[in-house]
Amino acid sequence: MLYRLAADGLVLFHLTFILFVLFGGLLTLKWPRVMWLHLPAVAWGIAVEVLHLPCPLTRWENLFRHMAGQDGYGGGFIEHYILTLIYPAGLTPNIQLMLGAVVVVINVTVYGLVIRRLLRRPTSLNL
């Protein structure tokens, strides 16, 4: 039971991480220091999509499911709704490249806004 809970919790964390990669830049508009967490997350997300790297979260989740005696994703809320968002059917390398491009476009746009805001701020050096 604990291994299944760990696997399900990892799926939720995985989804949260993906959402942070996609939209975490918006948090930097309010809290600029989030940028130091978000930029490495974006770099990893882009690398996984573009270079087709295996995600360690997926490996750990499958390990926990195996330890829980599960062969695959059974029918539960998390498996049915969340997993299909993270692991869509028919995911091809071309779709992964497109998803990586979406991540880049979203974040370049948001960070463009962040940089613009920072440049407009009066500094203490202005006399």
Contact in structure between 11 and 61 (CB atoms under 8 Å): yes
The model carries a pTM of 0.71
The pLDDT confidence band at residue 127, using thresholds 50, 70 and 90, is very low
Q: pLDDT, tens digit, for every residue of 28-55? A: 888 888 999 999 999 998 888 788 787 8
Q: pLDDT, tens digit, for every residue of 69-84? A: 876 555 444 555 566 7
pLDDT for residue 40: 95
> For residue 8, what are the contacts with CB-CB under 8 A and spacing of at least 6?
76, 78
Contact in structure between 105 and 25 (CB atoms under 8 Å): no
| Rounded Cα–Cα distance for residues 3 and 8 (Å) | 9
Angle between helices 35-51 and 2-23 (to 10 degrees): 100
